Homo-oligomer: A and B are copies of this chain.
Amino acid sequence: MDDRKRLVLKAIVDHYIKTGQPLSSQTLLKEYGLDVSSATIRNDMKALEREGLITKEYSSAGRVPTEKGFRFFVDWLVELSELTRPEEHALMESYRLQRQPLEELLKQTALLLAGLSGYAGFVLSPRLEETRLESITWVKLDEESALVVILSELGIVEHRILPTSLSQEELEEIGRWLSERLRGRTLSEVREEAQRYVTEAGEGWHDPRTQSAFQLLRSALERRLERRLYTEGLFNLLQKLLEEEVGLAEVRDIVRLLSESARFGEYLESQIEDSKLQVRIGSENSLRELRPCSLVLMGYGYSGVLGVLGPVRMDYSKACSITQYIGNRLEAILTLSRRAPMEAPEVNPS
């Protein structure tokens, strides 16, 4: 493709992203100041249309990019921008508190993605079952219940009140014993071990109460190891879709999809190969509801996914750079907070 045609395409995409309007050959000349006549532009447009990169709504309308046009734009023509000072500042501010519970950190990140991009932001939690246990701590709260706090290399991954009649001392002993024995193992291994302790009788303190404590521990892990999806900035997205004149029915379906975290989460997971930045434009998304939308996404530690969701007519430059920055930042925070890996001790001496 020759240079002028690329320029024409870029002009059409830029103009469409900015205004949402088709661009006519006349206007293109006026606003982008090429040194040829409008007829020449029209010929170029015709060629671009033949290649499927642009289209028009009816025979005598100006041109708008097709999804294929956006794809070409994203792949070859888009320039990533630097973060502005206020953006940089918001980012710093937001991550000031280190070592928050993972849940808070991810929610914060989703908020940040939404706030900076002006679209909806989302964060899918990492596969916790692949992270390694640091400690399990029990705290007696009152006669019948105790709090269990499970810490992995990514921070607090579960805190939960469980009914138990064991004493603080007994719980401490269990906690110490478990932590020492299981530290460095992945959480899914820990869950299996907990399961084993439940079914396996024999050792001294394996009385029914202890067994039930393990049972509860196991089910606590069960629940929390489900991946969770944090979405923020729904309002931003609606605002943009409103400008697109997307129908309320489609908007509703998008909102529904975002509230069905399981379905959307699985989709996100399936879209990530390594943790490179990716863009899915309109109907490149296999989920029907996402057809009016584009997705900018990126992987981070342990199969986590984050990104922004906006209309197809999205400021890809901004969306990509912000996702990139925040993704790298989150990765860094999680890596920093990660302890030096320890030797996983043998659980079953053989």
Asked if A141 and B147 sit within 8 Å, CB to CB, the answer is: no
Most buried by B among A238, A239, A339: A238
Check if A241 is an interface residue, CB within 8 A of chain B. yes
Asked if B235 and A99 sit within 8 Å, CB to CB, the answer is: no
State the main secondary structure of chain A at its contact with B: mixed
Asked if B145 and A141 sit within 8 Å, CB to CB, the answer is: no
The contact string, 1 if C-beta is below 8 Å from chain B, for chain A 240-278, is: 011000001101100110010000000000000000000
Check if A330 is an interface residue, CB within 8 A of chain B. no
A31 CB, nearest partner CB in chain B, Å: 29
Which A residues form the contact surface with B (CB < 8 A)?
98-101, 134-135, 137, 139, 141-142, 145, 147, 149, 151, 155-156, 159-161, 163, 234-235, 238-239, 241-242, 248-249, 251-252, 255-256, 259, 339
Closest 6 CB pairs between A and B?
A235-B256, A238-B252, A242-B248, A235-B255, A235-B259, A137-B139
Most buried by B among A145, A160, A163, A252: A252
Most buried by B among A137, A151, A248: A248
Cα distance, A321 to B100, chains bound together (Å): 40
Cα distance, A242 to B252, chains bound together (Å): 8
